[in-house]
Chains A and B, each alone.
Chain A
Amino acid sequence: MNLYTYVHNNPLTNVDPSGHWCESTDGKWAHPGNCADGTIQEPDYMHDGDRLIRNGNEVGTFYDNNDSVHEDNSWAGVLFDTVITGGFGLGKVAVSKTITKLFGRAVAEEAATAAKGMIFYGGLAGEAFLADLVGATAKNQLQQSFSTTMGRRVVDVLVDEMAYESKAGYLKYSQVAVKQIQKDAELIAAGDIKGAVWHFFKSGYTGVGADQRLLDLLTQNGMKYVIHK
């Protein structure tokens, strides 16, 4: 029997961003699998190294066989915010639909632009193609993954090529955390992303913020951070 086959599929108290990892907003539960029945649809490398919490007790750490190492509580910040503003799940769905709509509207923009002696001309398909070529679209704005020299890096949210990372709870100093910052620094230097902003959110379980050495490392690499106390 799966250790986590209980059903706690309450969107107001639990977060289940991907269907691959479930945790409760009070910090008492965190485990692989979806909130409904705990089943895992596919390897959950995004939560490699995350704490497994059962009824308030830390019972272990989740490791995935994939080489990629992902942050803990990747989605928690996004979803906590969503819970506060209107109910879990709505935000995620709305983002996806909206970006699709945004892409459609780009098609309707004016086709030609005159600048510095040049007149750009083309069909609406060309405009849409251009928008898609250089920007995130509905399906790839969230949880995009990049390949770096240090392994894969999954970005929580990418808007205007700026990466937004959310952390719930206090982030301790670890090689995993250092590596994640270094990956972001590489992505910025290579131009894959324009920049990165890390947000730290309060968790009832471990507090908020991060080890000062990590915060310093973010600053040294030109990244912003915001601690939401």
Chain B
Amino acid sequence: MVYHYPLMDPPMGAVSYSEMTKKQAQEYFNWYVQEIPVRINILMGAIEASGVQNMEQFDLTSESLNPLWAWLKERIKTTPKSQEKMNELRNTLPSWILEDVSNWELDTGTLTLAVDVSLYFAEVFLRKYPHLQWDFKSKPKSDAYLNKPVVTGFKRGGLHPPTVVTNLCRSYVEGKQDKNLVSLFEVWSKFI
């Protein structure tokens, strides 16, 4: 069975977060937060379509992160960076950085799944700790998550779920298989 998995479709087009005005960031934020349950539903549909029988286990508890990671890690795929992209990096990055830059990246499908899994991951936190909430920061301009929706209320900066889950996928590709969604949840739980 083929499951047609839609990408997120921002209503304002491809405006980079770093270029957004505060008004645009607010509009994006409103749309993004509204999309979260939709994205989780799409993800659940894909999991079910893949043949998983016990869908009740995906109950937005921290325990459910275990089967969710088991499902996701089987679908992590990479693609070589295009020659054009590698040339751009060669032409601009200092040689001492270039030596470490990988020649692969997560493919679009993996990124899409990882982002939706990350929204599920965030929802697990929000349900367990009611004081947490979605928010975004427009200052300072150097903030790594400038204008991006993050979960706030931790004893540190906000949780940007897409970044932490895609990094988890990258680590998995590189063989660091001791990390998973549950261990990530435990790390962030210490910041509560």
Contacts and interface: CB of A to CB of B under 8 A. Distances in A.
Interface string B115-147: 100000000000000000000000011111010
Nearest to B148: A133
B162 A77 contact: no
Contact of B92 (A94, A132, A147, A164): A94
Given A119-B4, A121-B4, A145-B140, A160 B9 contact: no
A172 interface: no
Nearest to B87: A98
A102 B88 contact: yes
Q: Interface residues of A toward B: which range?
A: 35 or more
Contacts of B92: 91, 94-95, 98-99
B191 A130 contact: no
B101 to A, nearest CB: 6
A124 interface: yes
A127 B16 contact: no
Interface residues of B, number: 72
B2 A102 contact: no
Given A102-B88, A137-B16, A191-B184, A125 B165 contact: no
- Which label, helix, strand, loop or mixed, suits the secondary structure of the A interface? mixed
Nearest to A148: B156
Contacts of B105: 160
B34 interface: no
B111 A115 contact: no
A57 B142 CA distance: 33
A87 interface: no
Nearest to B142: A145
Contacts of B91: 94, 98
Contact of B111 (A125, A130, A226): A130
Interface stretch (A7-15, A27-35, A103-111, A209-217): A103-111
Interface string B3-29: 111111110011011110000000000
B188 to A, nearest CB: 7
Contacts of A194: 167, 170-171
B93 interface: yes
A130 B88 contact: no
Interface stretch (A48-56, A78-86, A173-181): A78-86
A16 to B, nearest CB: 17
A154 B142 contact: yes
A117 B1 contact: yes
Contacts of A154: 142
B49 A191 contact: no
Contacts of A160: 101-102, 105, 170
Given A120-B109, A155-B144, 16 more contacts: A81-B96, A115-B109, A118-B4, A118-B5, A122-B9, A130-B112, A131-B111, A132-B17, A133-B17, A134-B114, A134-B166, A143-B142, A146-B144, A161-B166, A190-B156, A190-B191
- 8 nearest A-B residue pairs (beta carbon): A122-B7, A147-B157, A191-B164, A128-B14, A126-B7, A139-B18, A81-B94, A144-B144
